[in-house]
Amino acid sequence: MEFAEAAAEHIPAMHRVRMSVRENVLSNPNLVTEKDYLEMLENNGKGWVCFEGGELVGFAIVDLKKRNIWALFVSPNSENQGIGKKLQKHMLDWTFAQPDVENLWLSTAPGTRAEQFYQKTGWQKTGFTASGELRFEMSRDFWLRNL
């Protein structure tokens, strides 16, 4: 397992992983475009990728402008190997090292494995978004205390 900072050349492989998931599936693949990935990586935040045997099998992207986890996805063939947890650690360690970031939030569909993952890794449920997704928050203090 190798981890690296995400770059523009990783976008096609990241999108393949994004479209391969069994839960939190995009209803329309055109809802997230190459331009969206570029905006996140070059202007809004930062991303990380995981490779196994030269293949990109997972990625995570944080949106610093919105203080939001924009993406955390692992290929179905690479699940249950700790990749999501390690990607999250890279992302949150870096994000909470930024001096002006005190809290992050994310949303996910209720009743999913993602919901369970976020609860197990310390995210706190804070309610629902307008679209009905669960909203979770993580504070810098909690993350640093529980590394």
92-100 contacts at long range (C-beta below 8 A, 24 or more positions apart): 92/138, 92/143, 93/147, 94/46, 94/62, 95/46, 95/62, 95/64, 96/140, 96/143, 96/144, 98/64
Q: What single letter denotes the amino acid at residue 26?
A: L
CA angle 126, 128, 130 (to 5 degrees): 140
In this prediction, residue 81 carries a pLDDT of 87
Per-residue pLDDT of the chain (147 residues; tens, 9 = 90+): 999 999 999 999 999 998 887 776 665 666 788 899 999 999 999 999 999 999 999 999 999 999 999 999 999 888 888 999 999 999 999 999 999 999 999 999 999 989 999 999 999 999 999 999 999 999 999 999 986
State pTM to two decimals: 0.92
Domains of the chain: 2-145 (3.40.630.30)
Structure tokens at 59: 């990625």
pLDDT value at position 22?
72
In terms of DSSP H, where are the helices of 24-112? 34-39, 83-96
